Amino acid sequence: MYRRSRVLAFFMSALALGASAQSALDNGSGAYATGKYRNLFKEDGRSEKQIRVKIDAAYQQLFHGDPQTQAVAFAAGGNANGPLMYLTDWANHDVRTEGMSYGMMITVQLNHKAEFDALWNWAKTYMYVSDPKAPSYEYFAWSCKTDGTHNSEGAAPDGESYFAMALLFAANRWPGGTGIYDYHAEAVKLLTAMVHRGVITAPGKYGPQSVGPEMHPDPPMVLFVPEMMPHPFTDPSYHLPAFYELWARWGPPQDREFWERAADASRAFFPKAVNADTGLAPDYANFDGTPAVNRFSQSGKFGYDAWRTASNWSVDWSWWHKAPKEQALSDRIQKFFQTQGIDTYGPVFTLDGKPQGSVPGRTHEEHPEGLAGTNAVAGLAATDRARAKLFTEALWNTPTPSGQSRYYDGMLYLMSLMHAGGEFRIIQPKH
């Protein structure tokens, strides 16, 4: 009885500590506190019906359109947990945690539970690393063939981040699930691994591989990859302070203070990472914001990963209103792209603004729809409303991606429509 009493006292103390930390959090003055989300398309004169029709049409094309030219999501039979579906990078013939987690976020936001569950079932069945001896144990293999065979055993933290947030939203929207559909339990397990997973070393195809947590402890920043390396670095587009704030409220109680610090660290990091004139962020950066050069061919350039960075800080401003510098960053990047021709700029630039064209190995894109989307989302934080409206209109006039480039561009395009149309929201717990 004494031992049971001590255990109960410890448990109640932990709950009280978590509740105390949560009550002390600053809720800001954005959409989390007010429940009000800006609708850039409505501000631009579109009706709510027009906006919903446009978002639904893009969803139908990318998830249920022509399989050869439009769709990126494909049914893949079923198993004991139910139907399976994967979302593929059509041009590269693989399935990535990036796209699967984006698909889950889109479907939970738009209330498509069947598709959400089928995507999650495929990810858990084929991508999840369940072997405790494997270096990426408790993470997801970032790239698989469409039959589920792993192309890589490594993990990419942008995928885990979107998986965790989508699962928490699903737990709030569709509570009461069991097994792999106990979304809250699955999210907590993943968030715990991201922060606390111990280093595991094992032989690999290219020699020994050592993998640790996906979050760097100090500064508390997301790593580009959790593989152990002498000089770890980050990816600016992986920083999601808007999500971290929610994990500081809904995540594992022992890590809530960590996620609050991570949100603050990302907000301080963004102004250091972007160019002072153009607002362009590098694909990879050191923790002090300097470009992580000589890592990959895109290390010091504004490339495909970096497209997402402005959207990340702008959504953070929209939801929380805690970092006014994010407004200046949005003004800066929209001003730069206005000079490049709102309807004609290309995909890759040096940080000081020199166009670089497409990267070898990528499908040629003269004016990528995904970047048009994220630049429009920057309008959620921009103070120059007249200029922001130009980007909103440009996104509205951009057709849903099709053909070879429809995967990455399509996911960013659709999520950008949702952000700009006020349909990408914090799904609160049901009380």
- The residues that are catalytic are 98, 305
3 state SS for 353-375:
CCECCCCCCCCCCCCCHHHHHHH
Alpha carbon distance 271, 332 (integer Å):
11
Which residue in 403, 404, 344 sits closest to 372, CA to CA?
Answer: 344
DSSP 179: G
Tokens of 131: 């072997």
Using a 10 angstrom Cβ sphere, with 0-12 exposed, 13-18 middle and 19 or more buried, the burial of residue 148 is middle
Helical residues (DSSP H) of 35-156, grouped into ranges? 40-43, 48-64, 97-109, 113-122
Helical residues (DSSP H) of 224-324, grouped into ranges? 241-250, 256-273, 307-320
Tokens of 398: 């951009």
Q: What 3-state class would DSSP assign to 421?
A: coil
Q: What 3-state class would DSSP assign to 81?
A: coil
Alpha carbon distance 402, 105 (integer Å):
21
The beta-carbon contacts of 262-267 under 8 Å, at least 24 apart in sequence, are 262/215, 262/220, 262/221, 262/222, 263/316, 263/322, 265/219, 265/220, 265/221, 266/221, 266/239, 266/240, 266/241, 266/316, 267/241, 267/313, 267/316, 267/322, 267/323, 267/325, 267/326
